[in-house]
Structure 1
């Protein structure tokens, strides 16, 4: 009897355990290292990128050229410096090291011309380096204040997931800084790079791999090894019974894929009494985790549905930020740091919620459904209410791929943010410039915009009357109204990052850098 055919190697994860292994133990990594001996990687048989601004790039190329006695490298950098395009400019230098032919690609990054654009120009790095750093040694030559954004931009360029029969042999990318040693930043960059790639992998994996249950099991596995972390999950009909009507109704029709609320808390002091009786304290990061969005009863067309595996980008981003922050020691204030993930599949099937339904949220407000495809705000309304009522966090941040209208408001490189005070808004904009994950204010104007949700039968409808009236800001304010009704007296930040969450076919891991920079982790 002929032996059944077996694949020579596993090309896809078939179980939650496989997903956990792929994401927590990737075959390829981006590793930040000390500079070490100049040009050593070239002697070891690896090609190199040198990236940076002029004149830092010229100096790095000159130093490596002198160390290896290859003047062609310095000459290439000098030639490149004569004209740097706004989209970045590259030049390749090839030479012999002993009997081996080696290649160094130089990328000159232009200066930002606008006050809102990150000086490190992560957009240029992504354009030239995406998918091209496998097995390479990358030398970053930039001013000290651009190291974080440049390093994170490079870390995004090695996609962590693919499911192909033929794949190249795994090869790590190493990243080093030319000039002054990076010091403590090096360790933090490694934690952040790992977390960015976790977020990228979660978003890039297809919906037959990442479902509410597998997402939950992965998150719990990743948190299991962390110190001073507790985890709690409310799942399936327990959500309905405890009043989380938004999350329950959105996810209830997905067969054998029950919705869940995942709550992780890092509490360095271990004290629960202050949280229960004192003023609000700490930070809660709340993420929209729609593992697939069909639109529900308001079914999307094919063109609008493809790519909806990315609709959990907010949850992936806040989880990545929380994971990196905890590995870096938590909040500088040693206050609790919470992660609240609102996870569901917005499917179609028996028992699905319908347009014209009225649902009761954990906040105590009711929503009349006039668009089942505006589901993200429904699950986040429950998530922020939980953060206010059960966690009593002082700053509540929600992040979501919430609206396609986000790009109309702030474009494809910047998220749209809403903040309850000017100071918080300024801090987040600055954190975006520092990290390279741009953020720009929308309209925090509840007195002007909340009337878009007026309903004759419920406290509010879930979709606006006028789609031309600051639609992205309105969607955020829907969440804000639920948060206030839940009794929140602290600060609130909303991040709609629909378009910055991906570039081409790949996820960017957006949110890890922005939130870590804002929280003072880095």
Structure 2
């Protein structure tokens, strides 16, 4: 087959923010940091008064301003993420811009939001110096780093030089007491999320299944991971019918990627398996999408990007469990070879599926991944993550992912990780009474509800019930991230476009496994 466009050999990299720390006073740090061009002092409300942190009065004296008067005149409230510029004529050797940033109640969530707001206000700056998070816990320090790196994120440009005033600050120095463990974890989680965003933002004419598979191979090898790639002939020989069916209409054939992380000194442990939906572009196939619904479909591989990014971070973070990532990759295009409504597809392991809607392609490639995991990996647990259904975002909006699980303990662990990461989930029911809507008269199962179904709506539940059929009874959870995988506007640490949602959630969950 002929590729429709040249592909790059490495992922495009968006601008990054580097975060460092140092002890001592903020004024000393400012005078010793010759390239600092912005200083930020945290403020919070205590009773009826808004006050700055312990460094605030020293910095105000250095600038010759009455901080209490500024707080009153500028109506500073101290809420998480409120950023107010202090009007000053900076003395020689001090940054020209002086900001106050509200930290709310000082919780990790509010610190993350404060850092994200400050990061956006610092776009176009070279070096920010601040005491944000001074004296906080490990979780607080982690949240500050995540907020800084993610809140100012700018997606990679397609050959264009980014505007200087839109690029994130190149350097942030945190002054005061910040636990090193929290800073290190924050950097690792933020870097992984940025990678997931970069991959998701890459245009589909560059990002076909082969391109994505080669990114996984190159990045995995660099991280010391074992990577195996199935090409189309191997997929056919081994019976990956779901992936092949979805990719059948595209000029760029599908791929299937397995990545293994095996920590040293950990033996005889069954692996945790992560499966990520990797549709590099989704036209809907013969069941074609409306034009407006197709615009964002370069991001239909967000689940695979999240899983890849999380796996690559495992060695750095020191995850003490074996973890395997499975990435079923295909482009759901419209072509002479496209699979059709009414077709019966034999998925990996032999289950047959009646096709009613070719735009329900994600569950078909995930079926192959789940069945492969259950048959070959003896998983301790399987978690899949996918931009799967519009129904999930209709029900929960764009801030929560739908969480399904066969066990309460697993669901609770993922929900706890979600809370800690700031990536919100809502557990949904696996309603066994709905399973009959997937019954087929010509195959083992059909993949969507059809005419005469006993329920209307519940599309996200039906999709989860379909996926459960391929897990062979393993402990399993499904994260439908169709809503929060993309944002329409900047909000807290999520920036407009791809959010990388799920990366930090999965990493926190993996950190908690013993």
Query: If the TM-score is normalised by the length of the shorter chain, which range does it land in?
Result: 0.7 to 0.9
1:501 aligns with 2:491: no
Q: Give 1:110 shift.
A: 3.8
Q: Over aligned residues, Cα RMSD in angstroms?
A: 3.1
> Where does the alignment leave 5 or more consecutive residues of structure 2 unmatched?
489-495
1:366 maps to: 352
Counterpart mapping for 1:72-221 below 5 A:
72=66, 76=70, 83-84=77-78, 88-95=81-88, 96-98=90-92, 102-110=96-104, 119-120=109-110, 129-130=119-120, 132-134=122-124, 135-137=126-128, 139=130, 140-141=132-133, 143-144=136-137, 145-156=139-150, 157-163=152-158, 165-169=160-164, 172-177=169-174, 179-221=176-218
1:72–1:93 CA contact under 8 A, matched in 2:
no
Change (3 A) 1:16 1:417: same
In 1: Cα distance, 2:87 partner to 2:230 partner:
58
Q: Give 1:176 shift.
A: 4.6
In 2: Cα distance, 1:305 partner to 1:111 partner:
41
In 2: Cα distance, 1:238 partner to 1:270 partner:
33
Change (3 A) 1:358 1:437: same
In 1: Cα distance, 2:250 partner to 2:55 partner:
56
Residues 490-509 of structure 1, C-alpha deviations (whole Å, 9 max, x = no match): x2111111121122242111
Counterpart mapping for 1:27-46 below 5 A:
28-36=15-23, 38=26, 40=29, 43-46=34-37
Find 2:460's aligned residue among 456, 472, 485. 472
The 3-state SS of whatever aligns with 1:34 is strand
1:420 aligns with 2:406: yes
In 1: Cα distance, 2:393 partner to 2:108 partner:
18
Q: Give 1:268 shift.
A: 1.8
Change (3 A) 1:430 1:381: same
Normalising to structure 2: TM-score of the pair? 0.85
1:5 maps to: none
2:257–2:328 CA contact under 8 A, matched in 1:
yes
In 1: Cα distance, 2:57 partner to 2:215 partner:
45
Counterpart mapping for 1:58-457 below 5 A:
58-59=52-53, 62=56, 65=59, 68-72=62-66, 76=70, 83-84=77-78, 88-95=81-88, 96-98=90-92, 102-110=96-104, 119-120=109-110, 129-130=119-120, 132-134=122-124, 135-137=126-128, 139=130, 140-141=132-133, 143-144=136-137, 145-156=139-150, 157-163=152-158, 165-169=160-164, 172-177=169-174, 179-227=176-224, 229-255=225-251, 257-269=252-264, 274=268, 281-329=270-318, 331-332=319-320, 335-445=321-431, 447-457=432-442
Residues 116-164 of structure 1, C-alpha deviations (whole Å, 9 max, x = no match): x984385676577558534342643374244434432332222241236
1:464–1:474 CA contact under 8 A, matched in 2:
yes
The 3-state SS of whatever aligns with 1:97 is coil
